[in-house]
Amino acid sequence: MGVGWPAAPLRVVLVAGVTFTVPTPIPDPSPLQGEGGNGMPMTTPALRAALLAWYDAAARTLPWRAPPGSGRRTDPYFVWLSEVMLQQTTVPHATPYFLSFTQRWPTVSDLAAAPDAEVMAAWAGLGYYARARNLLACARAVAAEHGGVFPDTEEGLRALPGVGAYTAAAVAAIAFDREANVVDGNVERVMSRLFAVEAPMPDSKPVLKALAGELVTAHRPGDWAQALMDLGATVCRPKSPLCDRCPVSAFCAALARGDPESFPRKTKKADRPRRYGVAYLLTRDAEVALVRRPPKGLLGGMLGLPTSDWRGHPWAAEEARAAAPVAADWHDAGEIDHVFTHFSLTLRVFRAEGAMEAEWTAREGLGALPSVFLKAAKAGLGRLV
Ligand code: SF4
């Protein structure tokens, strides 16, 4: 595949006070060097033309959508209702609810006039009842304050109860063909791959939104938004993207690198911190010395082996012997690892014969110990427990 785009120089963009380095987005209208795999010049218009042509031919048929080229405009009530429903479920699950709502309440004014209990009952199964309450509040605001007509700008829509930035942009673009930047999780994923954005999520959200915004123009903004949504939902899927069927594969920096599925990058979960301690296994014939831990704190009130402090760096053998609960001929008996919720622990086990004030417990009784101490006891006793 002849991919010219990824060879483009990197540029630094500043979004919300944070700088990101991304491949140079397609300049508009001057082409980048070279051509895409389909022989098209690597430009914003070429990318847009490829995706819109695909949308014209392969748009999903959805009950709230006016098909591309139909000359019809999508009803803003339909767009709004479907977007609210789709915020919490999939297209197949939302579709029967959408059909039942619009059959029962064909306009936003009909919905506004419906009794709360009926709407809540119809919403049952979609979950998040706060959304249903917001839905009614919004419908009533449109009916009472706007004569049953949805505002036709992002700003006007955003002022309605319960309408967030995404829904306002989606309704403005799809229903009113406004030049709105409609960015949901699907679009973020597509942008992260098209531009091979290395910054991890969620910090990269502003830059992904800015990159998506650079591709929006006054030409068919509603279809553009829906084309991107369809691409993300059906082709540029989270797992196993169908790059061989993708209309914009020639423009895709992640595909050119050979690892599209690794985008969007995610913040690596911080490694658990590791602590180090010493456990002392003091035996007297067939018994082991146990001590009760302080009532507060980790394993509070439980019986366990005597230990040193648990700290951020390992214990040297001499240090470990010096910290022992009693003087004895302590032998190093190896290490065990244990993972707690918030940290990992390496316990170095020392064993000796001796006497001390303790709860002396027969080896057979050690099975009731917390697992970290059972591991340490097994290590010290040569797994004879
Ligand atoms: S080529 Fe693959 S990774 Fe790139 S946009 Fe298309 S489906 Fe997504």
More confident residue, 381 or 11: 381
Q: State the catalytic residues.
A: 83
Ligand 1 contact via 248 beta carbon (within 6 Å) = yes
pLDDT value at 384 more than 70:
no
364 exposed, middle or buried (CB, 10 Å; 0-12, 13-18, 19+)?
A: exposed
Ligand 1 contact via 253 beta carbon (within 6 Å) = no
pLDDT value at 298 more than 90:
no
Task: Supply the residue whose CA is at minimum distance from atom 8 of ligand 1.
Answer: 236
Q: Tell me the pLDDT tens digit for each residue of 15-36.
A: 444 444 555 544 433 333 334 4
Which residues in the chain are classed under CATH 1.10.340.30?
A: 5-262
Q: Which CATH superfamily is domain 5-262 in?
A: Hypothetical protein; domain 2 (1.10.340.30)
Task: Supply the residue whose CA is at minimum distance from atom 3 of ligand 1.
Answer: 260
C-alpha 241 – ligand 1 centre gap (Å) = 6
Q: Which CATH architecture has domain 274-380?
A: Alpha-Beta Complex (3.90)
Dihedral sign for Cα 84, 90, 95, 101, please.
negative
Which residues in the chain are classed under CATH 3.90.79.10?
A: 274-380
Ligand 1 contact via 232 beta carbon (within 6 Å) = no
Tell me the pLDDT band of 42, cut-offs 50, 70 and 90: low
C-alpha 67 – ligand 1 centre gap (Å) = 24
pTM above 0.95, yes or no: no
Task: Supply the residue whose CA is at minimum distance from atom 2 of ligand 1.
Answer: 243
Q: Tell me the pLDDT tens digit for each residue of 51-74.
A: 999 999 999 999 999 999 887 889
Ligand 1 contact via 377 beta carbon (within 6 Å) = no
| Confidence at residue 302, expressed as pLDDT on a 0 to 100 scale | 82
- In three state form, how does the secondary structure of the chain look? CCCCHHHCCEEEEEECCEEEEEECCCCCCCCCCCECCCCCECCHHHHHHHHHHHHHHHCCCCCCCCCCCCCCCCCHHHHHHHHHHHCCCCHHHHHHHHHHHHHHCCCHHHHHHCCHHHHHHHHCCCCCHHHHHHHHHHHHHHHHHCCCCCCCCHHHHHCCCCCCHHHHHHHHHHHHCCCCCCCCHHHHHHHHHHCCCCCCECCCHHHHHHHHHHHCCCCCHHHHHHHHHHHHHHHCCCCCCCHHHCCCHHHCHHHHHCCHHHCCCECCCCCCCEEEEEEEEEEECCEEEEEECCCCCCCCCCEECCECCCECCCCCHHHHHHCCCCCCCCEEEEEEEEECCCCEEEEEEEEEECCCCCEEEEHHHHHHCCHHHHHHHHHHCCCCC
Among 48, 55, 190, 262, which residue has the most ligand 1 atoms within 8 Å of its CB, making it the best to mutate? 190
Question: Can you tell me the distance from the alpha carbon of 7 to that of 5, in angstroms, rounded to the nearest whole number?
Answer: 5
| Confidence at residue 6, expressed as pLDDT on a 0 to 100 scale | 43
